[in-house]
Amino acid sequence: MYNVMYKMTCKLMFQIHGYQCKAKSILRVLIQCLAIFYVGTTSAAYAQPSLTNNQAIRIVDDALKQQPLFWQGFPIPYSIERSSKHKDAAMLEVLFNHNLLMRKKETQVVKIEGSKRKRIAMNYRYFFANQEISERIGSQGGFYYGYGRLKKLLQLSKPYMIGDSFSAEAYVQWYVADVQEWVDSPAFDKARTLRRSLESKRKPFEKRVYLQYDGNDWAFWQGKPGGL
């Protein structure tokens, strides 16, 4: 009886050991498969995307065209003496003549500096035609004078990883298109941005811009990469 019990116990232990070995083998295979899958998906997710010069040119030019440019050299409304020879008076006159501003005459009593006396000031008060225009120009930061176009792609970096995204830098030349007629007035000769805009097709601006890959395609990125 003892011998029979001993043999049965040994057989059972052998079977259990066999199942454990099989389980360990199956687990080992599963771990190897998961490791291969992880490496494969990680490599695919972080594979460096290609970016050609033609792609960058199209993306940057499209982005520049969608960014209207605005100039504002002074706050509106603006009151200034009718007889003033100040450069602002000449600029305001031009904007008024191009129907970008309206004006009305006003009379003010002002103190004479260094004296207790006062004098009458005959002013023009410049303002926007209506509240809608005022809010639109105020929110956009000034008077529309054109939009950008790409002239030349000077440099394009290879894509590089920042955080979880790929980015690239492009150094470009660009110019202002659709320059508004009022910009060419002599009154704005001292407004450097406007003066440079007039000659920008011949003497283009230069700047560095950034592109970012969203997992499917490249797109223009406002500011420096890594700011998501």
pLDDT tens column, 124-142: 999 987 766 655 555 456 8
Whether the per-residue pLDDT at 39 is higher than 80: the answer is: no
Whether the per-residue pLDDT at 45 is higher than 80: the answer is: no
Quick one: CA torsion of 213, 214, 219, 225, rounded to 10 degrees? Answer: -60
| N-term to C-term CA, the chain | 78
Predicted pLDDT of residue 103:
96
CB burial string 6-41: b at 16+ within 10 A, e below: eeeeeeeeeeeeeeeeeeeeeeeeeeeeeeeeeeee
Q: What is the mean pLDDT of residues 215-219?
A: 93
The C-alpha atoms of residue 28 and residue 33 are separated, in whole angstroms, by 9
Tokens 């008024």, located at residue:
96
Whether the per-residue pLDDT at 159 is higher than 60: the answer is: yes
The C-alpha atoms of residue 183 and residue 185 are separated, in whole angstroms, by 6
Q: What is the mean pLDDT of residues 100-114?
A: 90
Q: What is the mean pLDDT of residues 85-109?
A: 95
Top pLDDT among 179 and 6 is at 179
Residue extents of the structural domains in the chain:
1-47, 49-71+145-228, 74-141
Q: How far is CA 10 from CA 5, 15, 119, 179, in A?
A: 9, 9, 120, 96
The C-alpha atoms of residue 69 and residue 114 are separated, in whole angstroms, by 43
User: 196: phi > 0 → left, psi -120 to 50 → alpha, else beta; which?
Assistant: alpha
Quick one: CA torsion of 77, 78, 81, 85, rounded to 10 degrees? Answer: -140
Predicted pLDDT of residue 35:
47
The β-bridge partners of 138 are none
Predicted pLDDT of residue 9:
47
Tokens 């929110």, located at residue:
139
Whether the per-residue pLDDT at 2 is higher than 70: the answer is: no
Q: Angle 33-36-42 (CA atoms, 0-180°, nearest 5)?
A: 135
Closest CA to 170 of 131, 132, 221: 221
Whether the per-residue pLDDT at 24 is higher than 60: the answer is: no
Predicted pLDDT of residue 128:
87
Predicted pLDDT of residue 142:
84
The C-alpha atoms of residue 5 and residue 75 are separated, in whole angstroms, by 104
The C-alpha atoms of residue 103 and residue 84 are separated, in whole angstroms, by 15
Q: What is the mean pLDDT of residues 143-166?
A: 95
- In percent, the amount of the chain with pLDDT more than 90 equals 59
CB burial string 59-71: b at 16+ within 10 A, e below: bbbebbeeeebeb
